[in-house]
Amino acid sequence: MNALVILLGLFLVSWIVANFSFLARARSVTYLTVALLTGVVFSSEGPLPLLPSLLSSLTIAARVGIVWLFFMFGNYVVQNKLWAKRRLLPIFILVSVVLVFWTYQGLDELEMSANLAYPLLVGTIMALVYHFIIPATGSFDTPARLTIAGLSVLCTGWAVGLKILEPLVGVVFGMLIGATRFDQVVKDKPLRRTERAVTVAIALCCGFFVSLNLWTVAVGILFAIFRVALVYLEVRLIKKNKKLNLFLSRIQMNPLILSACLALQMSPFKGESTVLLLSSAVWSFIASEVVLFGLLLVSEFPRPLREGSKI
Amino acid sequence: MSGSHQPISLKLVFESALALALVLGALMFFENVLTLDFHRTTLFGLGFIIVSGLAAGRFGSILGLPSLTGYLFAGLICGPTFLHIVSEDQVNKLKLINGLALALIAMQAGCEFTKEMLFSNFKLLLAASVSHLVVIGIGMAGIFFAAASYLPGLNEIAAGVLLPLAFVISIVGVSKSPAAVMAILGETKIKNRLSEHAIGMVVFLDVFVIIVFAVALAYARSAVQGLSGISLHQMSELIGELVASIAAGTFFGLFISMYFWLIDRERTLFLILISFGVTALCSYLHYETLLVFVVAGFTVTNFSQQAEKMISVIESLSSVVMIVFFATAGASLHVMDLIDTWQLVAILFLGRLGLTWLSEKIVHTSLNSPAELKAYGYTPFLSQAGLSIGLAVIAYDRIPTYGSQVATIIISVVTLNEIFGPLLFKWGLQKSANLQRS
């Protein structure tokens, strides 16, 4: 009970702070940074470290959250949403990272193909179960939504039991549902709203594993600066776009990166390299937000962004 | 509670069974054909319980049984007694959900308890509640105490311990099922004196049961730990806890009303947080959790206009939470232990039916109630479900050494009451409606 209450309590704090209208309006130090920093406070190197047993209990919820986010993402991808296409990048990054890790871990071809085949198999089984359990109606009611959440729990159970990566199972499951039930999931507003809450919980859990090592922080910050510079060059030089909003909207990193890195950290492949990867991603995310915050301060803080503002 | 508010058709039942077979087949494929070292985690157990509970609940509905019975059977079959898909350790971990389920059951019961209902039938409700508490409470304890002496396993327990355990079982025997009563009334759409009496009693009596159960549990705990009954100091502490629980319930009820009135966002998430948070707080402060939530529900219904919102969130949440709750309760059943005590379960079931009839007969004869109440007044009160199982779970957790035995006996009797109770009430309602017409 304690682990769950603590997670819910921390989540509540992050959620309340994240929903302060001041922060939300500034579109700058967003709810995710608040959740990440809250998590860092409770990390093993933070001022209030959580007990390892408590941490392992808390991460169970995070694993379900990861499957859920990637299930939703799978649905968006199949529905061919424009912004979802942009989100495809984390999947490529994830697959590349996984392949690098497997090679690094010395897995042979058979094991590698099994690790890719099992998510496909489990995702397909779960999609069939979904079809049998959830009637094909135009919209969902709350019990149906909760049942879908229950299926995500089962999906996570398969992934953990077979020692395969949750994001892969989630995305296959989501893509199959998106392809066969069309936009049933994507059109459901309450289901879409859960993404925000789950992302906050994931960010909170990411914070628990972050390393405060100066070198790691530096790598994260440097990556963020390098990335912001690339985004600036892309917007100014390649797209020849002088609008402020386009540049600012691309500064924030995709939160799915955090989920993917957390999944690796909780997978059987976890080690020093996964901690480095997750920590760099977290510090990079925070640094990107700080850069964005600074740019807003310089431009038109604290008003909301206006269309057509120049850099 | 079928996972979706769709009408249950034969096709849906068949498809749900197919889904369950698919998951089971995949599990066998991974473990036996691919000979993988599949680690059955708690998450897998939880997901499997949801799928199997949904399938069994839908199957039960088609057979005319309450869905809850299906959930219980699903848990029993998947649990450590039969298929071992969910282990004993996982069942214990899944009991985390119990806090949420009990909170929802108690809040819903509190929400049904309106001031109008209390004032209009106060005399009948009070008389019937006292009659049930005395007749069923003492009668069931007597039956258990007498029968246990002849049964192996139970006859070795000292009389000083057996008597308090008998009182715990008898107090749970007094509890009713608001959920089952509401479900049957919703299904039959019959509104008469019997239906009014049923709604009033199931809620009014359950509040008494929660309070008396707390006393019986404290008595049983001290007896098992070798202490001589409850001292005056313990009694005053218990009363203090009950008063504090009522105060806390009022506070949380007002807090919930304020949230629904002023903020009114993410209602489901808010209620989950409140349920878990308050449950943890009650456990820390030694408050009576169920009483706190009943009072909170009562406060929301009677001192604000937010009850409708709260009931709709509770009903939505209950659909899946109850599957896990009842299936976990089913998985906790140690059926093999029952082989020695099946006679006791049968005696308690029949005894409770007889005592319920007697307690209603005494009340309606002495108050000269209408004919339909005199003849069929006992029929709504055989059903037992969520609250009774919740009390069994609390007994399991809190009574040292004998908690598991007590919970198994209670859940077994509740299972029988749950199967036959709704059928009896449906029959009684139809008969009383015919009697009223004639």
Mean pLDDT of B199-224: 83
* CB-CB contact of B415 with B181 (8 Å): no
Q: What is the dihedral of CA A66, A71, A75, A81, to 10 degrees?
A: 0
CA B170 to chain centre: 14
pLDDT tens per residue, chain A (311 residues)? 456 666 666 666 666 665 554 444 444 456 788 888 888 988 888 888 887 777 877 788 889 999 999 999 888 888 766 555 555 555 666 666 666 666 666 666 666 677 778 888 999 999 999 999 988 877 788 888 889 999 999 999 999 998 888 888 998 999 899 888 876 788 888 888 888 888 888 998 999 999 888 888 999 999 999 988 888 887 877 767 666 777 777 787 888 888 888 988 888 778 888 888 899 999 999 998 888 877 877 765 444 444 444 43
A57-61, A229-233, B84-88, B334-338: range with lowest mean pLDDT: B334-338
Of the candidates B40, B184, B220, B320, which has an alpha carbon nearest to the alpha carbon of residue A159? Answer: B40
Q: Chain A closest CA to B270's CA: distance in Å?
A: 9
**What gap in Å lies between CA B357 and CA B359, rounded to an integer?**
6
Asked if A4 lies within 8 A of B316 by C-beta distance, the reply is no
* CB-CB contact of A54 with A6 (8 Å): yes
Asked if A161 lies within 8 A of B38 by C-beta distance, the reply is yes
**What gap in Å lies between CA B162 and CA A157, rounded to an integer?**
42
Contacts of B4 in chain A (CB under 8 A): 134-135, 140-141, 143-144, 147
For residue A154, what are the CA distances in angstroms to A126, A197, B67? 8, 20, 21
> What are the residues whose beta carbons fall under 8 Å from the beta carbon of B77, sequence distance 6 or more?
B52, B56, B83, B330
Name the band, by pLDDT with cuts 50, 70 and 90, for residue B398.
confident
| Chain pair A-B, CB pairs under 8 angstroms | 131
Asked if A150 lies within 8 A of B41 by C-beta distance, the reply is no
pTM beyond 0.90: no
Chain B CA closest to residue A60: B43
Asked if B277 lies within 8 A of A5 by C-beta distance, the reply is yes
Asked if A147 lies within 8 A of B3 by C-beta distance, the reply is yes
The CA-to-CA distance between both ends of chain B, in Å, stands at: 36
Of the candidates B201, B120, B124, B188, which has an alpha carbon nearest to the alpha carbon of residue B432? Answer: B188
For residue B364, what are the CA distances in angstroms to A299, B126, B138, B373, B376? 80, 12, 20, 7, 10
Name the band, by pLDDT with cuts 50, 70 and 90, for residue B416.
confident
Contacts of A162 in chain B (CB under 8 A): 30, 36, 38
Task: Give the ipTM.
Answer: 0.81
**What gap in Å lies between CA A230 and CA A284, rounded to an integer?**
14
**What gap in Å lies between CA A52 and CA B89, rounded to an integer?**
20
Q: Chain A closest CA to B200's CA: distance in Å?
A: 28
Asked if A143 lies within 8 A of B319 by C-beta distance, the reply is yes
The SS3 assignment for A240 reads coil
Paired with A243 in beta bridges are A310
Q: What is the pLDDT of residues B276-299, one digit of tens each?
A: 888 888 888 888 888 899 899 999
Contacts of B99 in chain A (CB under 8 A): 1
| Residue among A137, A142, A147 whose CB faces B54 most closely | A147
Paired with A310 in beta bridges are A243
Using only C-alpha atoms, chain A has a radius of gyration, in whole angstroms, of 20
> What are the residues whose beta carbons fall under 8 Å from the beta carbon of A295, sequence distance 6 or more?
A248, A251
Confidence at residue B418, expressed as pLDDT on a 0 to 100 scale: 77
Asked if A135 lies within 8 A of B6 by C-beta distance, the reply is yes
**What gap in Å lies between CA A112 and CA A265, rounded to an integer?**
18
* CB-CB contact of B369 with B124 (8 Å): yes
CA angle B295, B299, B303 (to 5 degrees): 165
**What gap in Å lies between CA B324 and CA B50, rounded to an integer?**
6
Confidence at residue A304, expressed as pLDDT on a 0 to 100 scale: 44
Asked if B3 lies within 8 A of A5 by C-beta distance, the reply is no
Of the candidates A38, A70, A90, A50, which has an alpha carbon nearest to the alpha carbon of residue A203? Answer: A38
Contacts of A1 in chain B (CB under 8 A): 96, 99, 276, 279-280, 283
Asked if B43 lies within 8 A of A122 by C-beta distance, the reply is no
Contacts of B44 in chain A (CB under 8 A): 154, 157-158, 160-161
